[in-house]
Structure 1
Amino acid sequence: MVERMSGDDDRRVGEGEKPGRGLLRRTIANQRIALAVGTPLVSLHQVMETLVPVAIGVIIDGPVTDGNVSMLVVALAGLAALFVVLTYSWRFGARRLVAAIEAESHRLRVAVARRILDPRGVRTSLRTGELLAVATTDAGRAAQILHVVPATAAAVTAVVGAAVALLLVDVPLGLLVLLGTPAILVALDRATPLLTRRITAQQEAVARASGLATDLVTGLRPLRGIGAEPAAAQRYRDASADALASTLRATRALGVYTGTSSAVSALLSVAVAGVAGWAALAGRISVGELITVVGLAQFVVEPLGTLAALPSTWAASRASADRLSLVLHAPSLLPAGTGTPSDGSLELRGLGYRSLRRIDLTVAPGELLGVLAHRSQDAEALADVLSGQVPPEDVRGELTVGGVPLGALDPVAGRRTVLAEPHHSDLFAGTLADNITAGMSRPSDGIPPEVLGASAAGQVADTHPDGLDQRIVDRGSSLSGGQRQRVALARALARRAPVLVLHEPTTAVDAVTEQAVAEGIARLRHDGDAHTTVVITSSPALLAAADRVVVIDDGEIVASGTHAELSATHPTYRAAVLR
C-alpha cells in the first residue's frame, strides 16, 4: 500500500534532522502497514527454519531410538506441517515486502520528477544525467531500507531462537552464540561509516559520468561541427576513470567487509559444532541433540551473514537518500508569487541580465514584435529572461507580464501566459501527433489544421506514409533539423499561449518554407486575436512579418521601426538580415 505524499511532504525535515535520514524515516512510515504484515511473516519463517534441526533431533532421540513406527509417522507429519508453515510464511511475507519496496521506489521517482518539473524550477548543480541517476538508481537503493528493517528483525529472531534452542540443549553452547553474535556485530559496525563514505563517493562519481555522457550525446552534432570530439571524449574518459576508481575503492572495502564477516560467522559456527562434539563425547548431550546442534550451527551462518551484510545495504540506502535530498530539498528558482497577468503585455524597464545592459521596451497585447540581436549572447539572455524562468534577484531593472512584476508572478499562471520556445527544442519518443499535442490543454481535440499549415509541420506528416502517426525516436533524431524545428514550432503554436517567445525558429528550413512560416505565424496569432508574439531572429522573412522590429547591440536597444524602415535607414541592420 502506497501512501501518496506531495513534494512538500518529501521536502519536510524535522528540526536538526539530516535530510537523508529523515527521508528514510518517512519511507519506513509510508510502508508501516506492509512492514507490520511482512516482518512477522518472514520472522516466522526464520523461527520455522530454526525448528527444523530441533525437530529432527527430537525425532532421532524419540521414535527412531525407540523404534515406535506410529509415533515416527506422526512426527514426520508434524515435520511436513512445519515445512508448509515455513514455505508459505516466506511466500506471503516476501511478496508483501517486495511490493512495498517497488511501490516506494515508484513514489520516490515520482517525487523527484515532481520536484524537477515544479513550475518554480529547482536550483541545483546536478546535470541532466545526474538527475536521471537520482530519479532511478538512487530511488531504488533508498527504498531498500524496507529490506533492511524486516531482514534485521528476521535475522535477530533466528539467532535468538537458535541461542534459546542451544541453551536448552547445553548452556555453554547457548552462551557462546548469545555472547559471540553481539561481539561480531559491534566489531563489524565500526566499518559502516567507511562503507557509507566510499559508497557515497562511488554514486556521485558514477552520476557525474552519466551526466557527462548524456550531455555529450545531446550535443554530438555540434561537437562534430567544431571538431571537438577528441576533447569531449577525453573529458568523458577522465570522468569514467574517476568513476571506475571510486567503484573499485568501494568494492574493495565491501569485499574486505563481506569476507571478514563471513569468515568470523563461519568460525563461530565451527566453534559451536566443535563444543557440541566434545559435549557428545563427554556424554553431556545425546545423538539427537548433537544433530540438533550441528544443524543449528550450520543454519545460524545464514542469519549471521545477513546481519553482517545489512550495514552495507544500509550504507547504500543512506547515501542514496542523501542524494535524493539534494534534489527534493533544493531551493526553488522562482518565488511563490500570487499575481496573475491581466493581458499579454510585456514591459521591460532598465532591464539588465547577463550581457544585457539596459533594455527599455514595451510590447502591447496583440503585437508581433521582431528582435534582432547582433550578438548571440544578447539574444540568448533576452530569450531566457522573457521565459520567466530566471530568478528575480538575477535580473536588474524590472520585467512585468500583464502588469505583474516578475517577482510577484504566480509561476503556474506565468507558464500559462508566457510560452518561450527555446532555439534547441527536444522532441520525445512517440508519434508526430503526440509531440505536437504535448502542450495542448485538450490534446484529445486533435491538431488544428491551421497549426500544421502555419508551422509547415503538415509537410513533415505528408512525406511519411503514416502521416501524423509516424513514430519519432527519442530527441527526434529520426527527423532532419528542419523537420524538428517545424514540429517544435507546431507544438508551440498549438498551445495558443497569450504570449509566445520564439528564438530563431527557422534556422534549419529553406527560404520558401521560412516565408510560409512567417506568414503562417502572423495569420494564426494576429488575425484579429490579442496574442502577443516576440520573435528573436535574424530571418528577413520573420522580421518583415513583424509589426515592429527592435535592434539590440552591445546589450542595449539601438534602433526601432518596421523591417522596411530599418532596411532603408540602418546599415548594420541591412547587413545583418538581407541575404
Structure 2
Amino acid sequence: MEIRFSLSPASLKTPPWDVGAAPPTFLAQPPSFEDNVTDTAKPRAQVDQDRGSSFATQIENEQANREKGRELKPLSRLLPYVLRYPLTLFLFVIFLGLAATLTLALPGAFRLVVDCGFGGASASELCTDLLPNAELSTFFLAGIGLALLLGLVSALRFYFISRLGERVVADLRKNVFNHLLSLSPAFYVSTRTGEVLSRLTTDTTLIQTVVGSSVSVAIRTVVTTGGALALMVVVNWQLSLMVLALGPVILGPIMIFGRRVQRFSRDSQDTLADASARASESLTAIETVQAFTREEQERGRFGDAVETNFAASLRRIRTRAYMTAIIFSVVLAGLMAVLWFGAIQVQSGAITPGAMTQFVMYAFVAVSGVGMLTETYAEVMRAAGATERLMELLSAEAEIEAPVDPKSLPQPLAGRIRFDDVTFAYPARPGEDVLRNVALEVAPGETIALVGPSGAGKSTIFQLLLRLYDPAAGAISLDDTDIRDVDPVALRNALAIVQQNAPLFSGSVSDNILFGRPDASREEVIEAARAANAHDFIMALPEGYDTQLGENASTLSGGQRQRLAIARAILRDAPILLLDEATSALDSESEQVIQQAFERVSRDRTTLVIAHRLATVREADRIVVMENGAVVDQGTHDELLARGGLYARYIELQFGASDRRNTPETE
C-alpha cells in the first residue's frame, strides 16, 4: 500500500515500461502468498487507477465546458486574494492616480516650453500673461521637476503592485498545495506529478506577472488613455475626431484575436505540463531507464512532447503577431493622417506649435496606450487560462472531511478495532465491492496478520482504517467510537504505518525519522533508530544523523530505507501499528533483528500486519485469511494448517506438502 505524504515526484512515479507487461527480471519479488495462490481479482494497481478516474473525468468535463467560451471570468476568482491586503492596494491606487495625473500634465508643460521658448511674439505675450514674473528657465526647470516626480511616483506604484502580486501568488500556491494534501491518494494515480507541479509553479508565475505587472499597466493605461482622449478634445476637437475614429478599427482585432490567444495559451500550458510530466517520469526512474538502455526512446518521448509544446506556443505567437501587425499598422497610418492635418492647421495659424505638440503627445499617449492594452490583454488572457487550470485543482473535492462536531477518541486509547459488516466499493466502480460484509474485531494489544491473494482487500482494510475512504455500509470503530465521528487528523495521529515502499524525503536522516513525531528529541530519534536496527549504518554515513539523503534517499539501499521508515513509525509511538510488508526489503539477518524489535514495540499496542513471509505470520496472535473481499478463515498458524483451507494450500504451494508443520521460520 502506498500512502503519499507530499508532491514528491518519486512518490508518484510511473515506470517507463508498459505497466501491463511483466516487470523486469531483476525486479522480481521472492515467492509470496499472492504469487502462489491463483485468484481472478483485480490487481491493486488497477484498483487504484479506477479509484482515481473520477478525478480525471471531473477535470476533463470542466475543461470541455470552458472550451465553449473562454473569457476573463476565471480571473475574478483571484479577487478575494487581492482584497486580503487593503493597505497595499490603497497605496497602489494612490500612486497610480498620481502617476496618471503627472503623465497627463507633462504634455501641458511641454506646450508652455515650446510656445514660450520657441514661439513667436504672440506666443511670448501669452506666456507673459500666464506667468508674468517667470523667467524662461522656470518653464524648463518645472518640466524637469515634473519628470523627476513622475519617476518617483511610478517607482512607488511599481513597488506596491509588485509586492501585492507576489503576496497573492504566494497565498494562492499555499492554498492550492494545502488543498492537494487533503485529496485522496487516488487523485494522484490519475493525475501525473509533472502536471500538478506545472500548475503549481508555471501557472502561478503567469498569474504573478499579471497581478504584479500587467493589471497595473492595464489600469494605468486605461486612466491615461481616457484622460488623454478627453484633453485632446479640449485642445482641438477636429483632430480628436480623427483619432477617435480609429477606436473601432483597433478594438475589432483585439476582441477577435484575443480569445484565440487565450485558447492557444491554454494549449501551450497544457503541453508544457505534459512535457514536464514526461521528464519527471524518466528522471525519477533513471536507473531503470539506463538499465534497459531506453535513453534514446526517452529522449524521443520528451522531444516529441517539447515539439508539441513548441507548436502550440508558435500558434499563440503567430496569432499575437497578426494582432500586433494589424493594430500598429492602423494606428501608425491614422497617426500620420492626424499629423498631416495638424501641420496644415499650424501653418494656417489655427493652433500654436505648442498646442500641436501637446496634442501630438496626448495622441501618442492614447495610441501607445492602445498598443499597450493589446499586449496586456494577451497576457491577461494567458493568465485567465492559467487561473482555469489552478481552479480545476481547487475544485477537486476532498472525499473525507472532518465532522462538524467531532468526537474525541478515548485517552489513553486501548486500541480495540472493530469492523461491523463493512462493505466497500471504490467510487469509480460502485457495483464492484472490494470488501463484502467484513466483520472483524481486534482486541487491544493483539497482533493480527492479514493474508490473502492480490485483490482480496487487505490494503483496503488499512485505507479504511486510516479513513482515506468511508465504507458504503457498516461501520469501523476504535474503542467503540465510530471513526467517521472523529477528526481525521486525530484519528491518524493514533496510527503509525510502515508501507512496503515507504517514501523518504529530501533532508537529513534525522529529519526523516522525525517525520513520525517532529517534537521528539535527538535521544528519542537515536533510540528509535536502534530499535529499527538502523543506528549502526546511520553512524557509518559521512555526517551520521545529519547526513543529507537527497530525493527519495536514492543513495541508500532498499533495506536501509526500509529501516528508516520503521524507525519513523516506532518514534511515532502510536497505540495502533500498521505494517504493510514492512520487512520485505530486508535480508534474513536484518529481518530477524527487526522482527525482535517489532515484538518489543507491539507488546503494548494493537498491530495489524499484511505479510507473506512466514516468520511474520507465525508470530501473530491470529491470522486472518481474506479472499474476494471477505474473511474466509482465521486462527493461529497451527489451527489453520489443521483445517486444510486456503492458508494450508498456500503453505503447500510455497514449501511443499512434506511436513507442513515444520515449515522454516524464514523464506
Give the alignment's TM-score, normalised by structure 2: 0.75
- Give the drift of 1:200: 2.5
Once the 2 structures are TM-superposed, how far is the Cα of residue 350 of structure 1 from its aligned partner? 4.8
Q: Tell me how far 1:128 sits from its aligned partner.
A: 2.7
* Matched-pair contact (CA < 8 Å) for 1:120–1:411: no
Structure 1 spans left out of the alignment, 5+ residues: 1-16
Alignment of 1:262-301 (within 5 A): 262-301=328-367
Structure 1 counterpart SS, 2:524: coil
What is the CA–CA distance in structure 2 between the aligned matches of 1:24 and 1:308, rounded to whole Å? 22
**Cα shift readout 1:265-287 (whole Å, capped 9, x = no counterpart):** 33343333333223223332333
Q: Which of 23, 28, 43 is 2:77 aligned to?
A: 23
- Is the Cα–Cα contact under 8 Å of residues 634 and 640 in structure 2 kept in the other structure? yes
CA offset digits 1:117-167 (Å, max 9, x no partner): 238789685333322222222233334245444322211222233334433
Q: Where does 1:40-59 land on structure 2 (aligned, <5 Å)?
A: 40-59=94-113
Q: Structure 2 CA distance, aligned partners of 1:111 and 1:459?
A: 41
Query: 1:229: Cα distance to partner?
Result: 7.7
Pair 1:63–1:249, CA change in 2 (3 A): closer
* Structure 2 counterpart of 1:77, one-letter code: L
Identify the match of residue 498 of structure 1 among 554, 558, 575.
Answer: 575
Question: How do 1:542-561 and structure 2 match up within 5 A?
Answer: 542-561=616-635
CA gap of 1:229–1:138, structure 2 versus 1, over 3 A, is same
Secondary structure in structure 2 of the residue aligned to 1:415: helix
2:467–2:483 Cα contact (<8 Å) kept: yes
Query: What SS class does the counterpart of residue 496 from structure 2 fall into?
Result: strand
What residue is the counterpart of 1:14 in the other structure? none
Measured in 2, the distance between the counterparts of 1:207 and 1:476 equals: 26
Contact 1:351–1:360, Cα closer than 8 Å, also in 2: no
Number of residue equivalences = 558
Which piece of structure 1 moves more, 419-428 or 438-447?
438-447
* CA distance in structure 1 between the partners assigned to 2:294 and 2:459 by the alignment: 22
User: Among 366, 377, 387, which residue is 1:311 paired with?
Assistant: 377
For 1:390, the equivalent position in structure 2 comes to 469
Determine the structure 2 residue equivalent to 1:361. Answer: 440
What CA deviation, in whole Å up to 9, does each residue of 1:46-78 have, x standing for no partner? 443343343233212103446999722211210
> What is the Cα deviation at residue 513 of structure 1?
0.9
- The aligned counterpart of 1:426 is 503
**Any idea what SS the aligned residue of 2:624 has?**
strand
For the residue of structure 2 that corresponds to 1:371, the secondary structure is strand
Q: Secondary structure at the match of 1:360?
A: strand
Could you tell me whether the CA contact under 8 Å between 2:272 and 2:309 is conserved in 1?
Answer: yes
SS at 2:602 equivalent: helix
1:438-478 deviation line (CA, Å, top 9, x unaligned): 23151456534331122222133122131000011122222
The range that moved more, 469-478 or 219-228, is 219-228
The amino acid of 2:207's aligned partner reads A
Q: Does 1:474 align with 2:544?
A: no
Shift of 1:110: 0.8
Q: Which has the larger displacement, 318-327 or 183-192?
A: 183-192
Within 5 Å, give how 1:21-170 maps onto structure 2.
Answer: 21-65=75-119, 71-118=135-182, 125-143=190-208, 144-145=210-211, 147-170=213-236
Code of the residue aligned with 1:345 in structure 2: it is: R
Q: Secondary structure at the match of 1:392?
A: coil
- The answer as to 2:450 corresponding to 1:371 is yes
- From the superposition, tell whether residues 402 and 297 of structure 1 become closer, same or farther in structure 2 (CA, over 3 Å): same
* Structure 2 unaligned spans of 5+: 1-70, 426-432, 656-665
* Alpha carbons 1:373, 1:537 under 8 Å: kept: no
* Structure 2 residue matching 1:117: 3-state secondary structure: helix
CA–CA distance in structure 2, aligned partners of residues 419 and 225 of structure 1: 35
Question: Which residue identity lines up with residue 155 of structure 2 in the other structure?
Answer: R
Q: Which residue identity lines up with residue 142 of structure 2 in the other structure?
A: G
Q: Structure 1 pair 362/18, CA: closer, same or farther in 2 (3 Å)?
A: farther
- What is the match of residue 211 of structure 1? 277
Provide the aligned C-alpha RMSD in A: 3.4
Counterpart Cα distance in 1 of 2:535 and 2:293: 35
Match of 2:563 in 1: 486
- Verify: 1:201 aligned to 2:267, yes or no: yes
What is aligned with 1:7?
none
1:451 to 518, 528, 544: 528
Q: Work out whether 1:540 is the aligned partner of 2:619.
A: no
Give the conservation status (yes or no) of the 8 Å contact 2:423–2:434: no
Q: What is aligned with 2:8?
A: none
Q: What is the identity, as a one-letter code, of the residue corresponding to 2:613?
A: S
Q: In 2, are the aligned partners of 1:273 and 1:297 still within 8 Å (CA)?
A: no
For 1:223 and 1:345, the matched residues in 2 are separated by 46
Deviation at 1:512, TM superposition (A): 0.8
Fraction of identical pairs, as percent: 26
Contact 1:165 / 1:174 at 8 angstroms: preserved in 2? no
Q: Shift of residue 339 of structure 1?
A: 4.2
Q: Distance in 1 between matches of 2:297 and 2:638?
A: 45
Contact in 1 for aligned 2:203/2:390 (Cα 8 Å): yes
Q: Distance in 2 between matches of 1:563 and 1:223?
A: 42
Decide whether aligned partners of structure 1 residues 31 and 180 sit closer, same or farther in structure 2, where only a CA change above 3 A counts.
farther
Q: In structure 1, how many angstroms separate the alpha carbons of the residues matched to 2:502 and 2:476?
A: 25
Ranked by relative contact order (alpha carbons within 8 Å, sequence separation 6 or more), the top structure is: 2
Q: Tell me the secondary structure at the aligned position of residue 573 of structure 2.
A: coil
Per-residue deviation, residues 175-200 of structure 1 (Å, max 9, x unmatched): 33344346523551243333333322
The separation in 1 between residues aligned to 2:93 and 2:186, in whole angstroms, is 38
* Correspondence for 1:13: none
Tell me the CA shift for residue 237 of structure 1. Answer: 5.7
- TM-score with structure 1 length normalisation? 0.85
